[in-house]
Structures are given as C-alpha cells and as structure tokens.
Amino acid sequence: MNSTGGVRRAQRPLAPLIAAALIASCTPPRDAPPSTAPQVSSAPVPASTEPYVIQPGDDLEVKFQLTPELNERQVVRPDGRISMQLIDHEIDAAGMTVDQLRRMLRSEYAAQLKEPQISVLVREFSQYRVFVGGEVGLVGPQPLNRATTVRQAIIQAQGFKDTADPSTVILYRQPPGKPASWQVLNLGEYPTNVGGDQDVWLAPLDIVYVPRSGISDVGRFVELYIRRLLPVQPQVTVPPP
C-alpha cells in the first residue's frame, strides 16, 4: 500500500514473458500422424523415348531458309493455335509433333513459296518446369531443362532465405491421370550423393515449398506482440573507439 492509501498493482517484467515465448516456440511439435498419401519416388524420372508433342505455352521458332523475312517466334496459345504470316487461317499446333508441324507448314506455304524450306524448333517447353515457393530468394517457376533435384531447383531459385527451414521442405507431385503424392524432405544437411533419399529428383510440374523456420516465427512474435507494447523502443548504440 502506498502513502495515499491506494493499492499498488504488481507489474510483471517483460523479460520473463519473452523468454517463455522463446522456449515455447522452440519446443519440438508433436509427431504428426502418418499420411495416407503415397510418397514421391526418389528415383530419377525416366526420359521419354516418344517424339515430343507440342503443348500450349511452348515457345516455337519457325525458320524459312530461303525467305528469312518470314521467320517467326510463336508461343502456342492456350487454345493450342499459332498464327503465321501469309496464311489466312490459324494453325492447330498443340497435339502435333515437331515433324508433323513442319510438314504441315510446308504444305500450307506451298501456294505462296516455291519449294519452301522450313524448320521448327522448340525454344522453351511449357510443361518442363517446376514451381518453387515459400522461403526462397526467387518464388516462381523454374525451368526443368535437365535432370534436376529438389536442392538444385532451390539453388536455381536463389537459395534458402535466412528465415527458411530446410529440414521440412515439402515436395508435391500430381502426374496426369494419377493420384497425387507428397513428401517432407530434410535438406538441412548436404547429402553425400546427389539424388539421395532426401534430395529427390524432380518431375515436370512438381511443386517445391520451403516453409518458414520456427525461430523466424519467434522474431515475428517479438516484433508484433512485444516490441510494439514497449513505451520506449530499445536502441543499440556503439561506443566510440
């Protein structure tokens, strides 16, 4: 009781609250129940031996050997079609092989050109990419031009952020016409062999998600719920030499 007869309320210091929050956030979570979803295979995805079929979104380059002014760079539209000079209708490119499209273009240009010499190149494959999200430097699609592991795709996406948790990287895969599968990968330690049990080989359209680490969540908690309650913001000063 103070000199005026009032009762002084006990004030709880902030330091124990912060320490308690840090300890609680660092406590390992309970083991999650096993998932019924099948795990992603760690084996390399076998290369297809079938001729490549053009897909919507593919970047095509059409070259005319004798009339280079007609050279075209076309992205196949979502409806699967492209538009070419001197042809009064659109070409259904999606669903055809490169050789089939080349033969069709030669037939279409036979009325305008004498012995048209045409070649078709696929400069970018729309389906041969993966998507990397979460705590990485560059979120978004990454090209899958060669056999690539999860770690290599993350490196292509400018690597882990300081706030990332490499021990719980999530890989999600849903092949066309097949059930989806997913796996939690521990990439916290660098493997002795590329494509090991944790550094899985990727397939086209795989999704890699890097979650936020627990300690970064503690930092956000301190910033949102502790620092903003302080009447005076703490400052760090460097004494002069």
Whether residue 85 is found in the same domain as residue 148: no
Q: 134 with 198, same domain?
A: yes
pLDDT of 188? 83
Alpha helix (H) ranges present in 66-223? Answer: 98-109, 150-156, 214-221
Mean pLDDT value across residues 180-197: 72
Q: Whole-angstrom Cα distance, residue 35 to residue 180?
A: 12
**Would you state the structure tokens that stand for residue 210, as one six-digit string?**
């890097």
8 A C-beta contact, residue 197 and residue 152: no
Cα 213 to Cα 234: distance, rounded to the nearest angstrom = 25
Residue 118 and residue 140 in one domain: no
Q: Are residues 99 and 132 in the same domain?
A: no
Domain contains 132: yes
Q: Residue 190's closest CA among 213, 167, 215?
A: 167
Phi, psi of 224 (to 5 degrees): -80, -35
The CATH number of residue 68's host domain is 3.30.1950.10
Mark whether 147 and 186 lie in a shared domain.
Answer: yes
Tell me: do 170 and 210 sit in the same domain.
yes
Same domain assignment for residues 88 and 141? no
Q: Which domain holds residue 152?
A: 128-218
Q: Please report, for the domain that includes residue 156, its CATH number.
A: 3.10.560.10
Nearest Cα neighbor of 52 from 105, 108, 100, 103 is: 100
Asked if pLDDT for residue 46 goes beyond 70, the answer is: no
206 part of a folded domain: yes
The domain boundary, picked from 96, 124, 152, lies at 124
Please tell me whether the overall predicted TM-score, pTM, comes out greater than 0.85 for this model: no
CA angle 43, 195, 154 (to 5 degrees): 120
* Mean pLDDT, all residues of the chain: 77
Q: Is 8 exposed, middle or buried (0-12, 13-18, 19+ CB in 10 A)?
A: exposed
β-bridge mates for residue 150, sequence order = none
* Domain-located, residue 223: no
What single letter denotes the amino acid at residue 189? E
> Is residue 6 over pLDDT 60?
no
100 shares its domain with 135: no
Instruction: Judge contact between 62 and 105, C-beta under 8 A.
Output: yes
Q: What is the pLDDT of residues 48-107, one digit of tens each?
A: 567 889 999 999 999 999 999 999 999 999 999 999 999 999 999 999 999 999 999 999
Residue 50 lies in a domain: no
* Statement to judge: residues 143 and 212 lie in one domain: yes
Each residue's pLDDT tens digit, 211-237? 998 766 655 655 555 555 555 444 544
- Alpha carbon distance 219, 173 (integer Å): 32
How many domains is the chain partitioned into structurally? 2
Q: Name the nearest CA neighbour of 42 among 173, 209, 130.
A: 173
